Structure 1
Amino acid sequence: MSALRRFAVGSLGLAIIGALVPGSAVSAPPPEPVTNLQLATKALQGMTLEDKIGQMFVLFAYGPDASKPDARNTALYGVATPAEVVAKYKPGGWIYFNARDNVTSPTQLATYSNQLQAAALKTGLHLPLTIATDQEQGVVVRIGPPATQFGGNMAHGATRDTKDARTAAGITGRELKAMGIRQDYAPVADVNVNALNPVIGVRSFSSDPKLVSDMTVAQVRGYQEDAGIMATAKHFPGHGDTVDDSHNALPTINHTRAQWDAIDAPSFKAAIKAGIDSIMTAHIVVPSLDPSGDPATLSKPILTGVLRGELGFKGLVITDALEMAAVRAKYGDAEVAVRAIEAGADQLLLPPAPDVQFKAVVDAVKSGRISERQVNESVLRVLLMKLKNGVLFQPYVDPAKIATKVGTPASLATAQKIVDKSVTLVKNDAKALPLTKDPRKILVTGWGVTTTQSLANSLTKRGATTTVAQTGAAPTDAAIADAVSKAQANDVTVVLTQKAWDTKVVDPGAKQQKLVKDLLATGKTVIVVAVRDPYDIAYFTAAPTYLATYGYAAVSMESLAKVLYGEIAPTGKLPVDIPVAGDPATPLYKFGHGLSW
């Protein structure tokens, strides 16, 4: 039995031992006057140093089943199964990734969550995990359909509707909770003021600090108050003005302190005022906040001085993934782990050298470099969040109920109505839109195997004869020629672009720009749609018809089809400025622009 449970039983005589057995009845949390703080403090007293350090780690494992061996786990952890990883480290948290073979379906995830919790409760510590994932919606999701999909943050920003943003977070949070996930690493609170930002973009609500703040608060309330899971505002102190991707390089944000106060800080202040449970750090250098050159994740002036001291944040501070290149650029992995805790982080996410980093933190505490008092404070926050989100007393979920809780007809219909409001008509110079109901042949080309087909399916439902010619992010000359040939044989071409402005990696954006320009040269009706960042129009200004959807899931393509055919009027307004190509200070289309009929 865990120290928390021993205390609850000893103090209040609650029969909660049954919660340790999968499928057994679970008692309610102990009533007042015993507080969560008292429970957590008592639990802390019964933990070894190694137990405490384990609670400061958030791990993952490869594969969709906790009992299934995977050689990749052996290489990383020295043990083969996810259950063995839990037993070895007794981590405080866990994270799911679709790209690491964790996700096959919501029902599978619910079963997997139960397996992991059973493994956690079999350790000597007997503490359930806080299982998390990045379900930001839009372009960053770990769990696809049949889970309910939304348009994402910038799509919400285009609607200006905070009520809908809260509703979306509530639905997402309740579905995650049904799968055993008690923490979402969302919402993104970054203010995307740089059109060339390669890593944030549409993950941000807007370039306007007030709009980002309002939307962030709405989603915090949706996740925490409506769904009862932990929200995580990210990426502090603000990742919205960078031209480098922190997965691959160490970005520097050159905002003055006054600029940071005006642009980056408001959304995090608003989240803190709204009671945000957790804040994730950014692997970025901000010289105006800390001139040392250390990334914020490793910066005591930023995490302890600004976030804790100036902003008064009392909740859980978790690092962004420590496997990312930006945080590993300056120090070795062992030193990174120690410095992150010294800076003020409570939990270390995705350590790339777990044995080395675990030992480094233990040794740092034993040597006095990190005080055990600081460790205790961090672990206390971890335990308090387990109590708050209910995982301590109800660690298990019912996979049999997934169909009644995840991707329900009501949730899907609500999502469609919300996304319908986001499509933004930026240009309609040729008055090509809305399309009439007359039969016509439509070519759907451009980026996205699934996305082009989803749009074609939606157009076919409306009587069009569709052809799909998917060209990818960096179309070859042959693919471009094929699309042009097909365009000449169709009445209308809809070309989907995805970050066509980005020419940094193998010049993919330039190839998309060529595709659009060659299609326009056919003289046929061409409708250009940016299905990710809205900034693409700056690179082919001759396009007479241009829309932005801010996302490329099927729900966004259905909304696009409705707009194309005039079933709904476009009501989305740009939540950012679209600058002139090569001139970021001059807007081509201003914040708030959006046409309709």
Structure 2
Amino acid sequence: MLAVKLIPVTALVAATLGLASCNQGASNATPGSVGQKTADGYSYRDLNKNGKLDVYEDTRQPVEARVDDLLKQMTLDEKAGLLFINGAKVNDDGSIEDKPATGMFAFVPNALKLVKQQHMNHFNLWIVPSPASLAKWYNTMQRYLQDSTRLGIPMTIASDPRNHFSSNIFAMSANTFSQWCEPLGLGAIGDSTLTMQFADISRREYMAVGIREALHPQVDLATEPRWPRISGTFGEDAQLTARMARAYILGYQGAKLDSNSVACMTKHFSGGGPQKEGLDPHFPFQKGQVYPGKNFKYHLIPFEAAFDVHTAAIMPYYGVPMGQTSEDVGFSFNKDIITGLLRNTYHYDGVVCTDWGLLTDANMGGVVWPARAWGVEKLSTEDRVKKIIDAGVDQFGGENCPEIVVQLVKGGRLTEARIDSSARRLLRQKFELGLFDNPFVDESKVGQIVGNPESLKAGEASQRRAMTLLKNDGKALPLAPGKLKIYVRNVDPKIAAQYGTVVDQPEKADIAILRLKTPFYPVESPIMMARMFHHGDLDFKGKQKDSILQLLKTVPTIVDIYLDRPAVIPEISAKAKGLLADFGASDAAVLDVIFGKDKPGGHLPIELPSSMNAVRAQKEDVPYDSRNPLYKFGYGLSY
């Protein structure tokens, strides 16, 4: 069994849940260039370079007083810049100058340009270099903002998940960060303490390189099995998801947002799971969110848990909640959802940020990816900005056009007071995170934190524990290591050779080990990203299915299938000697479980339907409702 020393969670989180703790406070920061000034014996950072102590520079003052003082000093252009967050590229050497880039993310803008030209100071990162280079880039950018901008407002860096063993396009490359099972695997394990430990460890890794906002957790409910984003959820059960959400947010934020926290942007309000036919609203072929089971409120339960633990931010999704509000428009354009439900019913006063790309079309190598302005496609970009702000949203994701906000105010279509209310929320978060007081990371400690051996072991252990045993015919599992001739498919033979003698033909084997992934069938689209999403049917077909069944007929076979969506595999299940599901796991993790070095500990967080007809007949908004499922929600064997 993989021995793992549990790394203690933060003191704030531990106090909340009564767990043992060891507070990992902010590291000693690299000093910036702004000189320390002294006023009446008090040392402060003179961020606006005026030679005197301003309220916003005084750490002894209440956060709201500091926000008020800074807001009064800001120009309209500077306030508008706060309202936008977009991707930023990081040079391999950690420098901040604009350098040519190639590949899928060549279009990503240079952060320094956006700071200089548009007063932006919120960025999200996709592809990044080594953690050391990332930390260097981060510190250099923070020094520039501190020294060379008028008010020294620090930047906030956000990221999609980086700590999962995953090929999902929404999980950024781990790149020496600890690699855990996917969130769906955390749902399969169902252990709040482990989920909090995951969040706390990834929090430390994020903070080490300067990431202070998590564009997660994703607490949508996986009630439509064809939806491509299920692997990022905790499953289809609202109560399970609510438990995981609480632990996750507490692990990142603590009981209160402070200098030890990574702020969570919980998504996608009010629940993005019930997409019609599972077609994702990133793309124009989407058909809206539907509620044939009249189950809209069920999808709110995980968000209520997130509000209970004070999630710092909320992200609505792209979809249109068909027939649920006074107009069929996407969530971020929808005043009934943002102001009516989120602000007024739930009294939520944190940051609300749109999902990425609601305002402007993207040109991807000559192919236009339309803005996700569903329901308001005919509005101009300026009118889209106004409608989103009028709906009650604070920030625009994946866009950099603050000049439009300025135009709307100067043209009398928006008031500056309305812009101030959003700017206030965004500034408050920066102050609470301690970024105005000490925005720097200690570059000398990055290697000790990111890729820490104990953190890596904890992540690897989660991959094994999440594995879910679905069938064990004649108690074939666990196999006896070292005694069998093994035929492997989709498994590294060099790794398999550590467990037995690997043969090159199934007929020569005592046992076969086959790794599969849930099938998908790309939607025909000129948009490359659309073809990468795992849409479509969930069953194997044609030659691929025939090849699998032929192997199962030839030799007793242990099948492991990666579930990023609930696969439809009745024939495979019937003929397999043993059947396991994984939720992001290495070959070594899978083989350790098959050969008994570790035990499977998961229970299905999603049901596995018995046929595609059953999938098509179920209601998109209702959990575990397919007819005669092959394996029910919560199923899982052990040995």
Q: Calculate the TM-score normalised by the size of structure 1.
A: 0.84
Q: Are residue 338 (structure 1) and residue 386 (structure 2) matched?
A: yes
Q: Are residue 54 (structure 1) and residue 81 (structure 2) matched?
A: yes
Gaps of at least 5 residues in structure 1 are: 1-5, 22-27, 447-451, 468-485
Q: Which residue of 1 aligns with 2:412?
A: 368
Q: Which residue of 1 aligns with 2:433?
A: 389
Deviation at 1:107? 1.0
Q: Are residue 271 (structure 1) and residue 306 (structure 2) matched?
A: yes
Q: Which residue of 2 aligns with 1:327?
A: 372
**Secondary structure of the corresponding residue to residue 149 of structure 1:** coil
Q: Which residue of 1 aligns with 2:468?
A: 424
In 2, distance between residues paired with 1:54 and 1:169?
30
Maintained 8 Å contact 2:482/2:499: no
- Write the deviation string for residues 17-60 of structure 1: whole angstroms up to 9, x where unpaired: 37899xxxxxx98454x210110111000001110000011122
**Secondary structure of the corresponding residue to residue 231 of structure 1:** strand
One-letter code of the match for 1:412? Answer: L
Of residues 569, 573, 583, the one that matches 1:550 is 583
Q: Are residue 410 (structure 1) and residue 410 (structure 2) matched?
A: no
One-letter code of the match for 1:287? Answer: M
Q: Which residue of 1 aligns with 2:152?
A: 126
Of residues 84, 108, 112, the one that matches 2:133 is 108
In 1, distance between residues paired with 2:81 and 2:42?
27
**Secondary structure of the corresponding residue to residue 183 of structure 1:** strand
Residues 80/190 of structure 1: CA separation in 2 closer, same or farther (3 Å cut): closer
In 1, distance between residues paired with 2:181 and 2:106?
36
Q: Which residue of 2 aligns with 1:462?
A: 499
1:554-573 matches, within 5 Å, as 554=586, 557-573=587-603
In 2, distance between residues paired with 1:120 and 1:63?
16
Deviation at 1:267? 0.5
- Write the deviation string for residues 478-514 of structure 1: whole angstroms up to 9, x where unpaired: xxxxxxxx54454433333223154646889666774
Deviation at 1:417? 2.9
- Write the deviation string for residues 169-199 of structure 1: whole angstroms up to 9, x where unpaired: 010011001101100111111111111112x
One-letter code of the match for 1:416? Answer: E
In 2, distance between residues paired with 1:516 and 1:408?
42
Residues 213/326 of structure 1: CA separation in 2 closer, same or farther (3 Å cut): farther
**Secondary structure of the corresponding residue to residue 408 of structure 2:** helix
Q: Are residue 524 (structure 1) and residue 568 (structure 2) matched?
A: no
- Write the deviation string for residues 192-232 of structure 1: whole angstroms up to 9, x where unpaired: 1111112x212110111000001001000000018511011
Q: Which residue of 2 aligns with 1:482?
A: none
In 2, distance between residues paired with 1:407 and 1:421?
20
Maintained 8 Å contact 1:90/1:125: no
Maintained 8 Å contact 1:87/1:120: no
Residues 524/404 of structure 1: CA separation in 2 closer, same or farther (3 Å cut): same
Q: Which residue of 1 aligns with 2:481?
A: 437
In 1, distance between residues paired with 2:182 and 2:404?
38
Of residues 479, 484, 495, the one that matches 2:514 is 495
Maintained 8 Å contact 1:136/1:152: no
**Secondary structure of the corresponding residue to residue 355 of structure 2:** coil
Q: Are residue 589 (structure 1) and residue 631 (structure 2) matched?
A: yes
Q: Which residue of 2 aligns with 1:399?
A: 443
**Secondary structure of the corresponding residue to residue 356 of structure 2:** coil
Residue identity over aligned pairs, in percent, reads 25
1:230-241 matches, within 5 Å, as 230-241=263-274
One-letter code of the match for 1:578? Answer: L
In 2, distance between residues paired with 1:87 and 1:487?
63
Maintained 8 Å contact 1:497/1:530: yes
Residues 123/368 of structure 1: CA separation in 2 closer, same or farther (3 Å cut): same
Task: Return 220-229 or 323-332, whichever deviates more.
Answer: 323-332
Residues 66/90 of structure 1: CA separation in 2 closer, same or farther (3 Å cut): farther
One-letter code of the match for 1:125? Answer: L
- Write the deviation string for residues 229-270 of structure 1: whole angstroms up to 9, x where unpaired: 101110111111221122223451212795111x21011111
In 2, distance between residues paired with 1:38 and 1:413?
44
Q: Which residue of 1 aligns with 2:251?
A: 222
Deviation at 1:311? 1.4
Gaps of at least 5 residues in structure 2 are: 1-33, 50-55, 363-368, 525-530, 616-625
Query: Aligned residue pairs: how many?
Result: 545
Q: Which residue of 2 aligns with 1:206?
A: 235
- Write the deviation string for residues 294-344 of structure 1: whole angstroms up to 9, x where unpaired: 100111111111111111111111111116746245144443333222222
One-letter code of the match for 1:41? Answer: D
In 2, distance between residues paired with 1:396 and 1:513?
56
Maintained 8 Å contact 1:70/1:80: no
Residues 504/37 of structure 1: CA separation in 2 closer, same or farther (3 Å cut): same
One-letter code of the match for 2:411? Answer: S
Q: Which residue of 2 aligns with 1:153?
A: 183
1:470-481 matches, within 5 Å, as none
Q: Which residue of 2 aligns with 1:470?
A: none
Maintained 8 Å contact 1:460/1:466: no
Maintained 8 Å contact 2:219/2:271: yes
Q: Which residue of 1 aligns with 2:14?
A: none
In 2, distance between residues paired with 1:177 and 1:128?
15
In 1, distance between residues paired with 2:139 and 2:419?
28
Deviation at 1:373? 1.5
Q: Are residue 515 (structure 1) and residue 515 (structure 2) matched?
A: no
One-letter code of the match for 1:339? Answer: K
Deviation at 1:112? 1.5
In 2, distance between residues paired with 1:373 and 1:11?
33
Deviation at 1:520? 2.5
Which structure has more relative contact order (CA 8 Å, sep 6+)? It is 2
Residues 378/9 of structure 1: CA separation in 2 closer, same or farther (3 Å cut): farther
**Secondary structure of the corresponding residue to residue 85 of structure 2:** strand
Residues 289/366 of structure 1: CA separation in 2 closer, same or farther (3 Å cut): farther
Residues 207/333 of structure 1: CA separation in 2 closer, same or farther (3 Å cut): same
Q: Which has the higher helix share?
A: 1
**Secondary structure of the corresponding residue to residue 227 of structure 2:** coil
Maintained 8 Å contact 2:85/2:122: yes
Residues 364/194 of structure 1: CA separation in 2 closer, same or farther (3 Å cut): same
Maintained 8 Å contact 2:87/2:109: no
Residues 179/211 of structure 1: CA separation in 2 closer, same or farther (3 Å cut): same
**Secondary structure of the corresponding residue to residue 589 of structure 1:** coil
**Secondary structure of the corresponding residue to residue 416 of structure 1:** helix
In 1, distance between residues paired with 2:380 and 2:607?
40
Residues 192/492 of structure 1: CA separation in 2 closer, same or farther (3 Å cut): same
